[in-house]
Amino acid sequence: MTAMLQVENLHQEFRIGGSLLDRMKFADGRLRFPDTRVKAVNGVSLSVNRGEVVALVGESGCGKSTVAKTIARIYRPSQGAIRIEGEDISSYGVREMLPVRSRMQMIFQDPFASLNPRQKVRDIVAEPLLEQTQGRAARKEVAQKTLDLLARVGLNTEHAGRYPHQFSGGQRQRIGIARALSVNPGLIIADEPVSALDVSIQAQILNLMMDLRDEFGLAYLFISHDLSVVHHIADRIGVMYLGFLVETGSREKLFSAPRHPYTRALLSAAPSIEKTRPREEIELSGEVPSALDLPSGCCFRTRCPLAFERCKVERPTLKDMGDGQQVACHLTDEPERDTQ
Ligand code: SF4
């Protein structure tokens, strides 16, 4: 069966600097821009099947949101393939992306920032549908579908004429979900959709998302820094560090038998899921290195308490462990060193 989403060897680099000020600062008689590149995503591959929830987790700045935005084609990938139901969209322009948007929608961390404050909620929800049909959809049908969607996500349809600022944070996220659903997508990319909400509201939104998955057969690529959130909803999980995927596996495997020292450190720092952690704690210390100057060898070596000589010189690649788990760590070749 063709995966809903397949990403192969995705890289995302951003060039920084290059303003007139930079040019003046660095100019040495000749006009030139400094060529400084941030390597935000480094060779990420993943797939999401129909009806599946795949989560990407990691600390702030690890590149997970950049992966999401690149897949959604907010950014053009520097390298790699992005396939939606087998169709490679990695080089598509705005016009070519229009029909793809009915198969893939995105919801954001801050629904308030992503909703037009001057639009009424009914127009916000109807907008993707009108865009898809280039205004040809019958007004009456669109109006009815909008009300149905608002009701389905738990909003009062009598409030369809209100503006975003008249709703709470949780209600605004429901509006964002209704808007995403309006074009019947098979895949929703959810970038930290509950991290700005209170814990009780988080649970309501997650339950709604899971109900919608069951009802519409939706697949989610779910981005989160919060392992306890991911623990509730993900079928499979990818752990990212400094733009690299360092471990992937099923939720059960990842929480019961994490292999990468970074995954183990993240679990050590998540008290609410402490019970599932069978190994000794690994404490994270120090800062994440700059993506402008990636460490040689293993990306995690500057913070890894288990690092050894080989880690300085050789970058580990994701290795299949034969049980659905993939790990990028030299300890998989030298388990006797893994004494923690
Ligand atoms: Fe730590 Fe080395 Fe494994 Fe990297 S490869 S996680 S530095 S032990």
Cα(9) to centroid(ligand 1), Å? 21
Per-residue pLDDT of the chain (340 residues; tens, 9 = 90+): 789 999 999 999 998 765 655 555 555 566 555 668 899 999 999 999 999 999 999 998 899 999 999 999 999 999 999 999 999 999 999 999 999 999 999 999 887 788 899 999 999 999 988 887 776 767 888 899 999 999 999 999 999 999 999 999 999 999 999 999 999 999 999 999 999 899 989 999 999 999 999 999 999 999 999 999 999 899 999 999 999 999 999 999 999 999 999 999 999 888 666 555 556 678 887 888 988 889 999 999 999 999 999 999 999 999 999 888 999 999 998 877 776 5
Output the ligand 1 site: residues, CB below 6 A: 261, 298, 300-301, 304, 306-307, 311, 316, 329-331
Please report the pLDDT score of residue 177 as a whole number. Answer: 97
Match 């308030």 to its residue by tokens: 112
**What is residue 109's DSSP assignment?**
S
- Which residue type sits at 187? L
C-alpha to C-alpha distance for 187 and 190, rounded to whole angstroms: 10
Match 């183990």 to its residue by tokens: 264
**CA-only gyration radius of the chain, Å:** 22
Q: How far is CA 8 from CA 27, 99, 168, 234, in A?
A: 39, 22, 38, 21
The separation between CA 178 and the C-alpha centre of its own chain, rounded to angstroms, equals 19
Please report the pLDDT score of residue 112 as a whole number. Answer: 72
Cβ within 8 Å of residue 247, ≥6 positions away: 238, 239, 254, 258, 259, 260, 262, 263, 325, 326, 327, 328, 329
- Which residue type sits at 211? D
Q: Which helix (H) or strand (E) holds 106?
A: strand 104-107
Kindly report the protein residue whose alpha carbon is nearest to atom 5 of ligand 1: 329
Please report the pLDDT score of residue 275 as a whole number. Answer: 53
Cα(299) to centroid(ligand 1), Å? 8
Q: Do the Cβ atoms of 254 and 233 come closer than 8 Å? A: no
Please report the pLDDT score of residue 21 as a whole number. Answer: 57
Q: Do the Cβ atoms of 137 and 129 come closer than 8 Å? A: yes
Q: Ligand 1: which of 262, 299, 304 to mutate, judged by most atoms within 8 Å of the beta carbon?
A: 304
Q: How would you label 302-331 residue by residue, b for 16+ Cβ within 10 Å and e otherwise?
A: bbbebbeebbeeebbebeeeeeebbbbbbb
Query: What is the length of the chain?
Result: 340
Structural domains in the chain, sorted by start: 1-18+37-103+217-340 (3.40.50.300)
**What is residue 136's DSSP assignment?**
-
Two tokens at 164? 């975003």
Kindly report the protein residue whose alpha carbon is nearest to atom 3 of ligand 1: 329
Q: How far is CA 338 from CA 61, 99, 280, 334, in A?
A: 27, 49, 11, 8
Q: Which residues pair with 250 in a beta bridge?
A: 236
C-alpha to C-alpha distance for 274 and 281, rounded to whole angstroms: 10
Please report the pLDDT score of residue 281 as a whole number. Answer: 75
Pick from 78, 100, 64: nearest CA to 191: 64
Q: How far is CA 85 from CA 63, 66, 105, in A?
A: 24, 21, 14
Q: Ligand 1: which of 311, 318, 336 to mutate, judged by most atoms within 8 Å of the beta carbon?
A: 311
